[in-house]
Structure 1
């Protein structure tokens, strides 16, 4: 009998890839997400639902495993919005899945919980999280992760996957912001772009979630850091990306401390404006591009049988298959 999976956040880049991989692996897939038009094209049963307020029992009825990818992942927003989507919705979905007798719950967490104004090299799942979270996104995703891990039980195995900087053709978070910055002609680089970044191809990320369900008996109650395992200096990665799209913005090296100060000022101004527009640069962005963050992937290899297969060049080619005018 086919295993039945529910994928939340299925209309995002990771969700679309995971739905495809689950289908290819023989799962019967139910999906939910924000975009009904994309949902209708997924090749899965699509059920529209607001995870923060709608009854969730119909969504999880007959489901064996929940892949909870839905989140507010923007670097800028209100605390209430992050709390509702990243914590309350997770709590509600856990309760519904448990009541429906699902046997697995795989959660998309984030390595942003490690992010702070310093280099973090060779992070393992046991490395300390940031002394102070970089933003409300990181804080609420960690709160959601704790809820998920606390729910682990012999008949309800829960796993948290922390993918680093997912790159793929339907990305709505990382690549769009980089491309917008490229249009301005100048690209400020905190620390000159010497910090190491270790993104993951969306295909590898989806495979890690699938592996977590396959190995849920031994993976239950655990977190897993996953990345491309191919760290590159930020500037070198950006140069490859811009070459792919035919852009040559001028990189402007900015001392990291100054960039943090300017970003903090921009955030304070934006927070006072009625519409709270996202500032051009956030402190989180400065930490992401100005400091190194790399991971040790041993736990995912040893317990999930998972290793990354795609290098930076592969993921850029997959995300941007043709040269485009950014």
Structure 2
């Protein structure tokens, strides 16, 4: 059945993939974001675009959701460092306001894009299930506010709106402005420190797989209300292999240096404390959250996603990273 779907955060890498996937399923898409140039591209794809900051007073959320049957909420402040109030405003307050507007407009389906950062910890966590406890306390403001927003979405509702959450892990692919740029910057150094020797397992997800799973959650939302679903590419790979394969693809030969985890943890903690004491807006070179992603394994149990969504990853995420790296190299 064709629906009009509002997709927030549509000008990001995931948002664009979501617009493309929803359109391919025959839905009508109303896309919103803050990047007008990216919005023009979405319009050429067949979406209607509205420039809007969801947390701004000038954004009429009731008008934005009017006439939509579904909302896929991918907008938010995604960063590992920043001001607490900015994360509260963009991740918690904006989600609350959008939920209220969607409910008032009679929207029947609401899919929230949550984050695996809620599980980030300074120890290995493998085979994480959707009902496994989040790390307490969360490692940064981003993880804390995404968890708070997710709990708003998944709380029991009396309006009949089916609301669920999807937590896609380490998104890579066309439009990725987070993971690949950071990996390339690291690989370009003469020496690349690898906490724990780079043995930790990371489970990346191709944006196309994530978009399919999220749009499928929208399709099945009436049966998923109140549920959170973990999604990944399903192929855990050692951080050291990612670093070495990427360097080889880029024609680089950095020296990969093992950094003991206890030392890395002490350095990250000290750097965070110094940044907070000085009120620095610049992210320290190493934070506990970054350390959690590089030094400790985090993988998902995909059985619930297969059962609830019929999800099976179609793309090799590491191959996607290397393909995008080759394109980046060719463009320079």
For normalisation by structure 1, the TM-score amounts to 0.95
1:200-239 superposed matches below 5 A = 200-239=205-244
Residues 172, 89 of structure 1: CA spacing in aligned structure 2 closer, same or farther, 3 A cutoff?
Answer: same
2:300 alignment counterpart: 295
CA distance in 2, matches of 1:103, 1:278: 40
1:13 alignment counterpart: 13
Q: Which runs of 5+ in 1 are unaligned?
A: none
- Per-residue deviation at 1:275? 4.8
- Per-residue deviation at 1:151? 5.2
Q: Does 1:125 align with 2:130?
A: yes
1:245-256 superposed matches below 5 A = 245-256=250-261
CA distance in 1, matches of 2:111, 2:199: 34
**Greater shift after overlay, 171-180 or 158-167?**
171-180
- Per-residue deviation at 1:79? 0.8
2:78 alignment counterpart: 73
- Per-residue deviation at 1:312? 3.2
- Per-residue deviation at 1:308? 1.0
Q: Is the 8 A contact 2:206 2:233 kept in 1?
A: yes
- Per-residue deviation at 1:152? 4.2
Deviations 1:52-97 (A, max 9, x none): 1222111101111111001111111111111111100000000001
Q: Does 1:171 align with 2:196?
A: no
Q: Does 1:88 align with 2:77?
A: no
Residues 154, 303 of structure 1: CA spacing in aligned structure 2 closer, same or farther, 3 A cutoff?
Answer: farther
Q: Is the 8 A contact 2:11 2:34 kept in 1?
A: yes
CA distance in 2, matches of 1:161, 1:233: 24
Aligned counterpart for 1:51 among listed residues 43, 50, 54: 54
1:243 alignment counterpart: 248
Alignment length (residue pairs): 326
1:19-168 superposed matches below 5 A = 19-42=19-42, 43=45, 44-53=47-56, 54-150=59-155, 152=157, 155-168=160-173
CA distance in 2, matches of 1:75, 1:315: 23
For normalisation by structure 2, the TM-score amounts to 0.94
- Point out 4+ residue stretches in structure 1 off by more than 4 angstroms: 151-154
2:311 alignment counterpart: 306
CA distance in 2, matches of 1:153, 1:249: 56
CA distance in 1, matches of 2:156, 2:178: 29
**Greater shift after overlay, 302-311 or 89-98?**
302-311
- Per-residue deviation at 1:318? 4.6
- Per-residue deviation at 1:249? 1.9
Residues 29, 323 of structure 1: CA spacing in aligned structure 2 closer, same or farther, 3 A cutoff?
Answer: closer
- Per-residue deviation at 1:300? 1.1
2:199 alignment counterpart: 194
Q: Is the 8 A contact 1:159 1:223 kept in 2?
A: yes
SS of equivalent to 1:324: helix
Residues 78, 230 of structure 1: CA spacing in aligned structure 2 closer, same or farther, 3 A cutoff?
Answer: same
SS of equivalent to 2:71: strand
Residues 313, 133 of structure 1: CA spacing in aligned structure 2 closer, same or farther, 3 A cutoff?
Answer: closer
CA distance in 2, matches of 1:323, 1:7: 28
SS of equivalent to 1:263: helix
- Per-residue deviation at 1:320? 3.1
CA distance in 1, matches of 2:4, 2:63: 14
